[in-house]
Amino acid sequence: RTDLFSHTSLEKDAYTVDPFNDRGGTGLLGRLLDVFEDNGYTVGPNSINSETPMLGGDPNKGRKIDVLPASGAPIYIRQNLRNHLNSAGDIKPIIMELNSESTTENGVHADYWSQHLVNNWNKSEALYALLEKT
The C-alpha atoms of residue 60 and residue 16 are separated, in whole angstroms, by 18
Q: Give the whole-angstrom CA distance, residue 88 versus residue 16.
A: 40
Distance CA 120, CA 115 (A): 9
Q: So what's the pLDDT on residue 37? A: 94
9 or 100, which is more confident? 9
Residue type, 89: G
pLDDT at residue 1 is higher than 60:
no
pLDDT tens column, 62-116: 888 888 787 776 665 544 445 555 555 666 677 667 666 666 666 667 777 777 7
**The model's pTM:** 0.56
